[in-house]
Structure 1
Amino acid sequence: MAVNFSESKTKENLMRAFAGESQARNRYTIAAEKAKDMKMHTIAEIFLYTAEQERAHAERFYELLKEFAGETIFIDGGYPVDQQESLEELLRAAEHNEKEEYEDVYQKFGDVAKEEGLLEAASAFYQIAEIEHVHQMRFGEVAELLEKNEYFACKEESKWICTNCGYIHEGKQAPKVCPVCRHDQGYFLPYAFAEYKGEDR
């Protein structure tokens, strides 16, 4: 049954989602700095890449609140404190948070919006939930590689790409130093995570 947007639960859920995405962006930016300090540059880039997508999610939720410009929307909510020391723990925490958004939070928010007849908001919640699932899977896969000591090495032939110059290395281990640009191993990314691989690769 359609309800007035100004009196809806969806108005508050959109603000909760905006707050959550904004915090996620900052958490991932902070995690990226930790990764850089550890000279794990490609993991820093994964955090920053995801942070930018969280910014886009926040912007979408904020756009849907445009008619309330100049007003203050009061909400309650709980948000995680991710201050883990290791990259593995930070990645697992991010994986957990993205899973909650995908499986629980945004599904419920979408259902409420649908019940209230606010279909554009419902669609945004459901669609962004699917993106959070991708984030969850990516964080989990990277964490698992680190936990198994397989981020820079594996038992079988594999590929890594230097994210500074684009050199692609094939072997069982990423080079300690890129033979082309001389950047250290922390700039190598397992090729499976490369955004633009090309059909012949």
Structure 2
Amino acid sequence: RNKYTFFAKVARKEGYHYVAKIFEETAINEMRHANDHFKLMGGIADTIANLQEAIEGEDYETTTMYKDFAAVAKEEGNMEAAVKFEMIGKVEAEHRDRYKKLLARVKAGTVYTRDEPITWKCSLCGYLHEGTEPPEKCPACAHPKEYYEPANLDTDI
């Protein structure tokens, strides 16, 4: 997502659907450009490297960036912004911790296996399956197990 996605929502709300469509098209174009630039800079690797990069980025945001933003906002007397930055820093910590769990699972080869049964959800059709791993193929839509995720991403990631 980028600013054009947000601009499109405003345009649509104000009744400018044609303008919203142009903003949305531009948002897609800009995302493609960013993806290409990121690849050229070597910023996209395998999943393990990408998770490690994500952990580092989220850790910086929670331990440094948003704390610094909050400190500046306080110095400027903008307590509303300071509180928001502190809250966002907490969210970034959750992102970091989630990525750490995912990295451990990818490294251990346990993304699609659990020691105890959980509820797995097909991310395409919503079919639910109880077990230590998802079925090889979704019985409802026939997509492979790679489309399954833990139904409760808060506890079963």
Tell me if TM exceeds 0.5: yes
Partner Cα separation in structure 1 for residue 42 and residue 136 of structure 2: 30
Structure 1 segments of 4+ aligned residues over 4 angstroms from their partners: none
Higher relative contact order (CA 8 A, sep 6+): 1
Residue identity in the other structure for 1:91: L
Q: Does 1:108 align with 2:68?
A: yes
Counterpart residue number, 2:58? 98
- TM-score, scaled relative to structure 1: 0.52
Counterpart residue number, 1:148? 108
Q: Does 1:134 align with 2:102?
A: no
- Identical aligned pairs, as a percentage? 31
Partner Cα separation in structure 1 for residue 72 and residue 129 of structure 2: 49
Alignment length (residue pairs)? 118
SS at match of 2:53: helix
Contact 1:160 1:191 (8 Å CA) reproduced: yes
SS at match of 2:115: strand
Counterpart residue number, 1:168? 128
Partner Cα separation in structure 2 for residue 102 and residue 82 of structure 1: 25
Residue identity in the other structure for 2:71: D
| Structure 1 unaligned blocks of 5 or more | 1-25, 31-80, 195-201
Please report how far the alpha carbon of residue 167 of structure 1 lies from its aligned counterpart in structure 2 after TM superposition. Answer: 1.2
- TM-score, scaled relative to structure 2: 0.65
Partner Cα separation in structure 2 for residue 133 and residue 82 of structure 1: 25
Contact 1:110 1:126 (8 Å CA) reproduced: yes
Q: CA RMSD in A?
A: 2.4
Contact 1:154 1:173 (8 Å CA) reproduced: yes
Going from structure 1 to structure 2, the CA distance change for 1:192 and 1:92 (only over 3 Å counts) comes to farther
Q: Does 1:121 align with 2:81?
A: yes
Partner Cα separation in structure 2 for residue 185 and residue 167 of structure 1: 12
Q: Deviations over 1:113-152 (max 9, x none)?
A: 1022122321221121111112112222222211111111
Selected match of 1:187 from 120, 127, 147: 147
Counterpart residue number, 2:45? 85
